[in-house]
Amino acid sequence: MGMFDELKCDYLLPDPIVQNETFQTKSLDRALDNYTITRDGRLILHPARYKLESEEEQPPGPDVSEMPQAIPEGDAEILYHGDIYFYTSLGTPGDDDYEWFEYKARFTEGRLQWIQRAKPHERQERL
Protein backbone atom coordinates (compact mmCIF):
# COMPACT_ATOMS: atom_id res chain seq x y z
CA MET A 1 0.00 0.00 0.00
CA GLY A 2 2.75 2.48 0.88
CA MET A 3 2.69 6.03 2.15
CA PHE A 4 0.33 8.68 0.84
CA ASP A 5 -1.01 12.15 1.56
CA GLU A 6 -4.62 13.17 2.16
CA LEU A 7 -6.41 15.75 0.06
CA LYS A 8 -9.70 17.62 0.38
CA CYS A 9 -11.14 19.27 -2.71
CA ASP A 10 -13.20 22.44 -2.30
CA TYR A 11 -13.02 22.97 -6.08
CA LEU A 12 -16.13 21.51 -7.72
CA LEU A 13 -15.64 17.89 -8.76
CA PRO A 14 -17.34 16.16 -11.71
CA ASP A 15 -19.11 13.82 -9.25
CA PRO A 16 -20.94 15.71 -6.47
CA ILE A 17 -21.41 12.48 -4.47
CA VAL A 18 -17.73 12.57 -3.39
CA GLN A 19 -17.34 16.34 -3.04
CA ASN A 20 -16.95 16.19 0.75
CA GLU A 21 -14.81 13.05 0.88
CA THR A 22 -11.17 12.92 1.94
CA PHE A 23 -9.01 11.55 -0.86
CA GLN A 24 -5.62 9.88 -0.90
CA THR A 25 -2.82 10.81 -3.28
CA LYS A 26 0.63 9.48 -4.02
CA SER A 27 1.41 12.35 -6.39
CA LEU A 28 2.89 14.60 -3.71
CA ASP A 29 5.39 13.95 -0.89
CA ARG A 30 3.84 10.73 0.50
CA ALA A 31 4.50 12.00 4.02
CA LEU A 32 0.97 11.68 5.47
CA ASP A 33 0.50 15.42 4.94
CA ASN A 34 -2.87 17.10 4.45
CA TYR A 35 -3.67 19.25 1.41
CA THR A 36 -6.64 21.16 0.05
CA ILE A 37 -7.45 22.23 -3.49
CA THR A 38 -9.32 25.48 -2.85
CA ARG A 39 -12.43 26.69 -4.64
CA ASP A 40 -10.27 29.20 -6.53
CA GLY A 41 -7.79 26.53 -7.67
CA ARG A 42 -4.85 26.84 -5.26
CA LEU A 43 -3.06 23.92 -3.62
CA ILE A 44 -2.66 24.44 0.13
CA LEU A 45 -0.49 22.34 2.44
CA HIS A 46 -1.65 22.13 6.05
CA PRO A 47 1.61 21.27 7.81
CA ALA A 48 1.56 19.94 11.35
CA ARG A 49 4.02 18.64 13.85
CA TYR A 50 3.12 15.73 16.08
CA LYS A 51 3.72 15.09 19.75
CA LEU A 52 2.83 12.25 22.04
CA GLU A 53 0.89 13.15 25.14
CA SER A 54 2.81 12.46 28.30
CA GLU A 55 1.20 10.16 30.83
CA GLU A 56 0.51 13.10 33.17
CA GLU A 57 -1.44 14.93 30.43
CA GLN A 58 -3.60 11.98 29.44
CA PRO A 59 -7.23 12.15 30.46
CA PRO A 60 -8.70 9.22 32.34
CA GLY A 61 -10.01 6.49 30.07
CA PRO A 62 -8.56 4.37 27.27
CA ASP A 63 -4.79 4.45 26.83
CA VAL A 64 -4.00 6.99 24.11
CA SER A 65 -0.27 7.16 24.78
CA GLU A 66 0.50 5.86 21.29
CA MET A 67 -1.76 8.35 19.52
CA PRO A 68 0.16 11.47 18.45
CA GLN A 69 -1.50 14.85 18.69
CA ALA A 70 -1.33 17.01 15.54
CA ILE A 71 -0.34 20.62 16.15
CA PRO A 72 -1.04 22.85 13.10
CA GLU A 73 1.85 25.02 11.97
CA GLY A 74 0.08 27.35 9.53
CA ASP A 75 -0.94 26.83 5.93
CA ALA A 76 1.36 27.15 2.93
CA GLU A 77 0.40 27.60 -0.71
CA ILE A 78 2.23 25.13 -2.96
CA LEU A 79 3.09 26.40 -6.44
CA TYR A 80 2.67 22.97 -8.00
CA HIS A 81 3.29 22.36 -11.70
CA GLY A 82 2.05 19.07 -13.13
CA ASP A 83 -0.68 16.50 -12.56
CA ILE A 84 -2.00 15.30 -9.22
CA TYR A 85 -3.99 12.07 -9.11
CA PHE A 86 -6.25 11.56 -6.12
CA TYR A 87 -8.75 8.85 -5.30
CA THR A 88 -11.36 7.42 -2.94
CA SER A 89 -14.08 4.81 -3.05
CA LEU A 90 -17.65 4.46 -1.86
CA GLY A 91 -19.31 1.24 -0.80
CA THR A 92 -17.74 -2.13 -0.04
CA PRO A 93 -15.36 -3.77 -2.55
CA GLY A 94 -17.14 -6.67 -4.23
CA ASP A 95 -20.63 -5.29 -3.59
CA ASP A 96 -22.88 -3.82 -6.28
CA ASP A 97 -22.75 -0.39 -4.62
CA TYR A 98 -18.93 -0.15 -4.75
CA GLU A 99 -17.45 2.60 -6.91
CA TRP A 100 -13.88 3.85 -7.33
CA PHE A 101 -13.40 7.58 -7.93
CA GLU A 102 -10.06 8.78 -9.24
CA TYR A 103 -9.32 12.25 -10.53
CA LYS A 104 -6.53 13.97 -12.40
CA ALA A 105 -5.94 17.63 -11.51
CA ARG A 106 -3.71 19.68 -13.84
CA PHE A 107 -1.75 22.51 -12.24
CA THR A 108 0.25 25.08 -14.21
CA GLU A 109 2.58 27.32 -12.25
CA GLY A 110 0.57 26.89 -9.06
CA ARG A 111 -2.93 27.30 -10.52
CA LEU A 112 -5.45 24.58 -11.20
CA GLN A 113 -6.35 24.34 -14.88
CA TRP A 114 -8.92 21.56 -14.65
CA ILE A 115 -10.01 18.38 -12.86
CA GLN A 116 -11.35 15.34 -14.68
CA ARG A 117 -12.02 11.67 -13.93
CA ALA A 118 -8.83 9.69 -14.54
CA LYS A 119 -9.02 7.04 -17.21
CA PRO A 120 -8.51 3.42 -16.05
CA HIS A 121 -5.33 2.98 -18.12
CA GLU A 122 -3.74 6.02 -16.45
CA ARG A 123 -4.07 4.35 -13.06
CA GLN A 124 -2.42 1.15 -14.24
CA GLU A 125 0.57 3.09 -15.62
CA ARG A 126 1.26 4.78 -12.26
CA LEU A 127 1.00 1.77 -9.93
- pLDDT digit string, tens, across residues 88-114: 999 999 899 999 999 999 999 999 999
Domain of 34, in residue numbers = 5-54+67-126
Q: Does some domain include residue 110?
A: yes
Single pTM value for the model: 0.80
Q: Does some domain include residue 59?
A: no
Q: Does some domain include residue 107?
A: yes
Q: Does some domain include residue 62?
A: no
Q: Does some domain include residue 61?
A: no
Q: What is the 3-state secondary structure (H, E, C) of the chain?
A: CCCCEEEEECCCCCCHHHCCCCEEECCCCCCCCEEEECCCCCEEECCEEEEECCHHHCCCCCCCCCCEEEEECCCEEECCCEEEEEEEEECCCCCCCCEEEEEEEEEECCEEEEEEECCHHHHHHHC
- pLDDT digit string, tens, across residues 17-40: 999 999 999 999 998 999 999 999
Can you tell me the mean pLDDT for 121-127?
A: 57
**Structural domain total, the chain:** 1
Can you tell me the mean pLDDT for 9-20?
A: 98
Q: Does some domain include residue 111?
A: yes
Please tell me which residue, 74 or 22, carries the higher pLDDT value: 22
pLDDT at 12 over 80: yes
CB 108 within 8 A of CB 83: no
The residues facing 107 across adjacent strands are: 82, 112
Can you tell me the mean pLDDT for 52-75?
A: 68
Q: Does some domain include residue 115?
A: yes
- pLDDT digit string, tens, across residues 37-62: 999 999 999 988 878 766 455 566 66
Q: Does some domain include residue 103?
A: yes
